[in-house]
């Protein structure tokens, strides 16, 4: 087990509005562990983003330990290392509450890929999810980042289909970026392997 000492926090500059967070860094302990697979030397930075309650943290630990773990709403972030297909992923799971989303940009630098998680049951907020995605993809620091969308909670009856989620997010309008959407269930683990396989291959092809 490896321990990584790293933390990034967002604070405000005096006189700057709350939608322009200033990012700084300091050190605290954070747990890093390994997902089964082939070890490699390449490390890629991955952000797991999405609205609160979408299942981001459940997905992270499903990938990391292979089972469902009890989680609480993320205030700040969780960071783990996942190793898969000769790629070492440094995976950052960021909180999705309204008050936290402006701070996402503090973590954009040097990001190789985004896993964007959507609650397929949350029809009321799918428009907000789209707005956050569109705004994020306009950021210069994410210009070259690969996008992998998880249409999550597909195990629940009445969930939007992958096609419905893709249309609601306007994915067909994305240009000059590698992207794909997957049908997933964090609770059952369905679709996660397919998504990680695609993401690993997409990043390897960028070499």
Q: Is the pLDDT reported for residue 25 higher than 90?
A: no
Is there a contact between 47 and 115 (Cβ–Cβ < 8 Å)? yes
How do beta strands 22-32 and 2-11 pair? Answer: antiparallel
Is the pLDDT confidence value at 11 over 60? no
Q: If we measure between CA atoms, which residue out of 89, 96, 107 comes closest to residue 41?
A: 89
Question: Do 81 and 32 touch, CB atoms closer than 8 A?
Answer: yes
- Is there a binding annotation on residue 170? no
Mean of pLDDT over the chain: 80
Q: What is the pLDDT of residues 121-139, one digit of tens each?
A: 999 999 999 999 999 999 9
> Residue 154 has what DSSP assignment?
T
112: three-class secondary structure by DSSP: coil
CA atoms within 13 A on the CB side of 139: 18
Domains by residue range for the chain, with CATH: 30-204 (3.40.50.300)
Indicate if the pLDDT at residue 27 is higher than 70. Answer: no
Q: Is 43 helix (H, G, I), strand (E, B) or coil?
A: strand
pLDDT tens digits, residue range 92-124?
A: 889 888 989 998 999 999 999 999 999 999 999
Is there a binding annotation on residue 86? no
Strands, E, within 95-160: which ranges? 113-119, 146-152
Q: Are 34 and 81 in contact (CB under 8 A)?
A: yes
- Lowest model confidence (mean pLDDT) among 4-13, 83-92, 107-116, 175-184: 4-13
Residue 61 corresponds to which tokens in the numbers above?
């630990």
Q: Judge whether 183 and 149 are in contact, CB under 8 Å.
A: no
Catalytic residues: 97
Is 15 among the annotated ligand-binding positions? no
Residue 184 among known ligand-binding residues: no
Position 207 scores a pLDDT of 67
């Amino acid at each position: 087990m490896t321990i990584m000492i790293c933390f990034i926090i967002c604070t405000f500059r005096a006189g700057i509005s709350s939608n322009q967070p200033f990012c700084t860094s300091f050190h605290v302990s954070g747990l890093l562990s390994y997902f089964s697979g082939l070890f490699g030397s390449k490390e890629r930075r991955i952000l797991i983003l999405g609205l609160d309650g979408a299942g981001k943290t459940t997905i992270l630990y499903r990938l990391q330990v292979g089972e469902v773990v009890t989680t609480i709403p993320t205030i700040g972030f969780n960071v783990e290392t996942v190793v898969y297909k000769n790629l070492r992923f440094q995976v950052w799971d960021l909180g999705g509450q309204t008050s936290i989303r402006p701070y996402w940009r503090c973590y954009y630098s040097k990001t190789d890929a985004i896993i964007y998680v959507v609650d397929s049951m949350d029809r009321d907020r799918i428009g907000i999810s789209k707005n956050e995605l569109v705004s994020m993809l306009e950021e210069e620091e994410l210009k070259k980042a690969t996008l992998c969308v998880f249409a999550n909670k597909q195990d629940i009856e009445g969930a939007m289909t992958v096609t419905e989620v893709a249309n609601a997010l306007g994915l067909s309008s994305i240009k000059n970026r590698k992207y794909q959407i997957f049908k997933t269930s964090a609770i059952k683990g369905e679709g996660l392997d397919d998504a990680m396989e695609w993401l690993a291959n997409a990043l390897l092809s960028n070499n």
